[in-house]
Amino acid sequence: MFIKVVNPNTTWSMTATIEACARAVAGPGTRVEAVSPTMGPPSIESHYDEALAVPGILTEIEKGERDSVDGHVIACFGDPGLDAARELAGGPVVGIAEAAMRAAAVLGRGFSVVTTLARTTGRAWDLAHRYGMRDACRGVHACDLPVLALDSDPDACRIVTEACLDALSEDGSDTMVLGCAGMADLCAHISAEIGVPVVDVVAAATLTVPSLVTMGLATGKRGEFATPPPKRYAGLLDGFTTGG
CA distance 84 to 37: 16
**Contact call for residue 112 and its own copies (CB under 8 A):** no
Q: What is the 3-state secondary structure (H, E, C) of 141-184?
A: EECCCCCCHHHHCCCHHHHHHHHHHHHHHHHCCCEEEECCHHHH
Q: Which of 72, 86, 138, 141 binds its own copies (CB under 8 A)?
A: 86
**Smallest distance, its own copies to C-beta of residue 135, A:** 7
**Smallest distance, its own copies to C-beta of residue 127, A:** 12
Question: Strand order of the sheet with strand 2-6?
Answer: 31-35, 2-6, 71-74, 93-95
**Contact call for residue 138 and its own copies (CB under 8 A):** no
Name the segment binding its own copies (CB under 8 A); options: 33-41, 149-157, 158-166: 33-41
CA distance 125 to 77: 11
**Phi, psi dihedrals of residue 111, rounded to the nearest 5°:** -130, 160
**Smallest distance, its own copies to C-beta of residue 15, A:** 13
Q: Which residue in 96, 66, 64, 89 sits closest to 218, CA to CA?
A: 89
Q: Which of 19, 49, 60, 185 binds its own copies (CB under 8 A)?
A: 49
**Contact call for residue 79 and its own copies (CB under 8 A):** no
Q: Which of 34, 35, 58, 73 binds its own copies (CB under 8 A)?
A: 58
Name the segment binding its own copies (CB under 8 A); options: 149-157, 158-166, 230-238: 230-238
Residues in the chain: 244
Q: Which of 23, 42, 159, 193 binds its own copies (CB under 8 A)?
A: 42
**Smallest distance, its own copies to C-beta of residue 238, A:** 8
**Contact call for residue 10 and its own copies (CB under 8 A):** yes
**CA Rg, the chain, in Å?**
17
Task: Tell me if 208 sits within 8 A of 92, measured CB to CB.
Answer: yes
**Smallest distance, its own copies to C-beta of residue 95, A:** 9
Helix 121-130 and helix 96-105, axial crossing angle in degrees, nearest 10? 60
**Stretch (H or E) spanning 109:** none
**Contact call for residue 214 and its own copies (CB under 8 A):** yes
Query: For residues 149-208, which are near its own copies according to CB under 8 A?
Result: 168, 172-175, 188, 191, 195-197, 199-200, 203-204, 207-208
| Residues contacting its own copies: total by CB under 8 A | 99
- Looking at beta carbons only, is 158 or 228 nearer to its own copies? 228
- Looking at beta carbons only, is 160 or 203 nearer to its own copies? 203
Q: Which of 25, 156, 157, 165 binds its own copies (CB under 8 A)?
A: 25
Task: Tell me if 212 sits within 8 A of 218, measured CB to CB.
Answer: yes
